[in-house]
Structure 1
Amino acid sequence: MNQEQAKQQLEALREEINQYNEEYHVLDQPSVSDSFYDQKMNELIQLEEEFPELLTADSPSQRVGGKPLDKFVKVNHRVPMLSLGNAFDSQDLRDFDRRIRERVGDDFRYVCELKIDGLAVSLRYENGEFVQGATRGDGKTGEDITQNLKTVRNIPLRIAENNAIEVRGEVFMPQKSFLALNEAREKNGEEKFANPRNAAAGSVRQLDPKIAAKRNLDIFLYSVGEWEAATTSSHSERLSYLEKLGFKTNKEARTFDTMEEVIAYTEDWTLKRANLDYEIDGIVIKVDSIELQEELGFTAKSPRWAIAYKFPAEEAITKVKEIELSIGRTGAVTPTAILEPVQVAGTTVQRASLHNEDLIVEKDIRINDTVVIKKAGDIIPEVVRVITEERTGDEQVFRMPENCPECNSELAKIDGEVAWRCINPNCPAQLKEGLIHFVSRNAMNIDGLGEKVIEQLFDHELIHTIADLYKLDKDRLLTMERMGEKSASNLLQAIDTSKENSLERLLFGLGIRFVGNKAADTLAQAFKHMDDLKNASEEEIKSIDEIGEKMASSIASYFAKPQVEELIAELKELGLNMAYLGEVFEADTDSQFYDKTIVLTGRLDEMSRNDAKKQIEALGGKVTGSVSKNTDLLIAGADAGSKLEKAESLNIEVWNEQQMIEALKA
């Protein structure tokens, strides 16, 4: 067989096997037996081995897994993968509905989807080819798991969409695959997975793709991220389009006109979820219209147009063996109930947060009490109530100690707060927790510096402050247990790389009280450099949008401390970046777009609507998705429809694309 004949045979085999894959994994209608499929796959692999120059990245043979990786590479999500806000009962859903209607009126629909209990991933296609798959990570940065995702057989390696598109879905392990995997692990003397979600997450994060290939993973696609040529006007249309491209979407998705219909849907699936071959932990509810989604926008953490209804938490009965205290990075003392181990929602629970002394008193929780616990949102264990009729007289009332359990300093309670605090700034527990926070994913995001490694470094007295991290050397690291040459080198490289982080990560990592992720980003954009923020007055800080009086006071007090002044100076000396590296747009007050509310509609020929939106916002304009009496200007491209009609009826100024381009250049 010559190369040309081999090429033709390979193309025919690939097309045939791709068809079988779609029939089996997407349509659930296999047309051939497993043995026949295996025979065809073996033919393909043998032919590719004979003609390696004809192997392609989208060949079905790539689903068996390639060479093991050394490590996962970081991926920046071009459109953040935000988490959803939660609703726990019908009243939460009605409140969500009321907020939507207050903003956009009553003319909209909801789309509801089963919330798959798996691992969120992003799939990127360019020129129709699957080029990159990534984990959600912290929403901004994930890990490249392309080779592992290629082994998931219902992820198409090629689609009929030539424009760049990024789609999102949930990788999961079906119940039958989970049971088979745990049975095999038990036979091999390996620890069983606690639940299918953990099994799925562990599978796609294997450095050896061949392991992932054996785990029989599945995926449902649920949304689109970045899409150069978006043509659909609703989320339900996007799901249909994903199906046409060969992606597997969940068939149980439904659209509804009212929240009461949505609530009935959630109640129905609360009862029916046990009948599924995969785990779900709730229902995702979204406003269907893409235009209204854009108008509603986002909070710091989640979209305003979507919410996740979480099924009622599973409850269990156990005993409180003792109450343990821990000290957080701000000195807050948090009591934790140590429980007799009990199974709840698929995992063994041995601890439950009691939050503060007031909660213990309110619920009258005593050591040796029999209690009902549940997982709030199926994640965080909490004590629901005490079963007082089970008391025997051996129960002990809990008393908060007068001194810190870590450093023995006196505990204090600040007026207006419920938490007791250790006010010793050199308390080892606070220092350790502060370091753990500093290296965390949402802060400096230093690979390899997890909680256990920080504790090890601290216990070996190699670090006490943030600055000490940047003074570590290989010789000192090698004195630690389980720290080899390669691990030490990788850790030092990750620490060095973190010096280049943008200012907002450093600000969040410093752990300034009340300054969360979003506030750190806002401050970094406003002041642009650490020195400018450090030297700003409380009034100047408070003048920034979204920065309140309490936060401004905390920031000013923080930077007024001499030890903070010394720390910032030392970090500068060690080479940490102190500037904001994101895009900062100085709005042009002379621009025709400045302080105007603008709507884009119709097809633009010379730029994408997304590019137009960015340029307008850079000049101080606000781009919204729908026309209202507050709209100042409508920019109408070709085939403009109802928005143009509405703008004309409201006497709103209308421009064509050329007028917009001339104004952008002015």
Structure 2
Amino acid sequence: MTDTPIADLSREEAEAELARLAEEIARHDALYYVGDAPEVSDADYDALRRRNAEIEARFPELTRADSPSARVGVAGSQAFAEVRHGVPMLSLDNAFNEDEVRDFVARVARFLKLPADEAVAFTAEPKIDGLSASLRYENGVLVQGATRGDGRAGEDVTANLLTLGDIPRRLAGSGWPKRIEVRGEVYAGTDAFAAFNAAAEAEGKRTYANPRNFAAGSLRQIDAKVTATRPLSFFAYAWGETSEPFAETQSEALEALASWGFRTNPRSTRVEGAEGLLKVYRGLEADRATLGYDIDGVVYKVDRLDWQQRLGFVARSPRWAIAHKFPAQQATTLLEGIDIQVGRTGSLTPVARLAPVTVGGVVVRNATLHNEDEIARKDVRIGDTVVLQRAGDVIPQIVSVVIDRRPAGAEPFVFPTRCPACGSEAVREEGEARRRCTGGLICPAQIVERLKHFVGRRAFDIEGLGEKQLIAFSERGWIREPADIFRLARDDAKLEALRAEDGYGETSVRNLVAGIEARRTIALERLIFALGIREIGEQTSLLLAREFGTWEAFEAAGREAAAGIPSPEWTRLAERHGVSARVMATLAEATPPDADPWPDASMDQKLSLAFPGLAAPARRALALLADDWAGVRRLAEIARNEGPSETLGRIAGVSGVGPVAARAVAEFFHEPHNRAVVEALVEQLDSVQAAERPKTDTPVAGKTVVFTGALERFTRDEAKARAEGLGAKVSGSVSKKTDYVVAGPGAGSKLADARKHGVAVLSEDEWLALIGG
């Protein structure tokens, strides 16, 4: 229903939609005004109200008695006494683009029947994102303060408002009416809000999502002493009931309020016409991040008060004022710095450190910059003014840079080539968008994640050692590498500290030790998988274990492979489209002479003569890499001298492993700190069990099997292990090359794929019969 265009709604559908909108908007009003915990952004809330108004405009006879168009907010909490406002505190209509602002100005001029050459003057002022309040003064003395509530009645929060230094108890100066309701906004400055949240978080207390929620929650404390501790401020900008006039224009009224002791916004200004309003809007949008408080738009009010009276009101809003809202998901702010965060898997991610700004109802201080290419593409520099948005209303990101506001001397950002957490080399592999730390098991940023993988069920599977324990032991400095886990099990002092200081019972300590000691003997494939080498998953670990048989043989192969890692130039050449392994061998075997024997030939002819037998696609690919004869000789040198070692080639040649995983093994063993960590670990182990060679004499040897559905006779892990032990390959997806699909109850898409490809489908009983029970 909510997606149906209003023009397409039937009368019955419109009636149902208005009922739904009334209920939903009322719920959001309660969350916002009473609970101080909104669930949707201002833009989403405004869209609901706008849809309601547009349906009512098309079907006026369907307007409900409880219509949101006749209501400002909701009644206040029963924790405070009700206060009736002398003049209702109505809300404003919204404009979301420049054309709507121009329409507003034109409507005002038409209503007043002004001549075409008479400009309308307005006051334009920042729309503070806080909590509206009304202050009642009698004979210059504050006698009552209230929230807006539902616009007609609010909550008596006089004692709380008296704690704000910006609110005078007695009016200063002269000329104030004997009775007046002064209205304005209670808010929290962005720096003060950030400091409060930081202190609250450090003490384990409640924090607030944004300054508006903080201001509302602080002002509506039952105990005014709590409010007094909160850094709240107040801007006065309007008035309600008054015993006598005190100004002729809005701008004069603001001057009067300031003379009586109130703070008025210094960015409030008087301008003429739509273009004057839009100039103020653009300026405030650009300066939004530097104001020191949150704003979500600009309010425009007709300046002459007699014209305001003539214009009057429509429904819940005045005709003489409008709020020009900023785009809800975007804001402009200052980029104060770029920090490099190291993820749990070693990826280096640049994060923009920003001057705090509210976007979509959330205070944003950091935003992702994705990777070094993104920084270069957008030319983001420290000190820039940037446009920020929340992607999908969740992840803040920088959209663009305001180049004409760039400070002099701002330098392009240089992305680090060393890990900021451990100092290890940060490499960026061909085709990868991000750099990654090579520190692995020694990098403090990665250590907990690496250790979680190490003790995981498919690796060492250590009982009683989960993420909580790993974090605690890591923070105490007890576990910094895998070997420390086994050292801990025999460290009486640390175990005693667990009992005495950390509250571990004797049974818990005994179980932890037993879980660790039980894994001093480990299968080779589990050890390889536990090392957390990139690209080496559980299946690849098993293939490598079966290929090399023992830990000693695998480790030796890894070290030998590390000494023969191909150069980046060799890798780029080998991965070039049209360059096959045969082409690389042809290049390596050739020895082109120093001087060009065919100076008048084309490059295609030179390549054909220098490397006989090359096919046309290969010649075209190489011609793009070689500009002259020296380039031809260089290609041959790269192919001959900079390729992988024989051992690296052997690893890559293992069926199911390939060159990418082989290179990952080589790079792991190439790092001295990784070798040291592995040596220390193996010293703590009693034995590494040699891998079992896959059987070749079973009915499923060499077959590819897929398990799907809810297996009832065995677990998925048991089924996989049994199949692999019989020489089968277990896959997670079905293709034409699949031999069997074993389907339990609830099998879905994989079963359908099996039937599509004509793959044999077996029940669990049929599978067991096939493999011999």
- Shorter chain as denominator, the TM-score bin is 0.3 to 0.5
Structure number, greater radius of gyration: 2
Q: TM-score, normalised by structure 1?
A: 0.37
Q: TM-score, normalised by structure 2?
A: 0.33
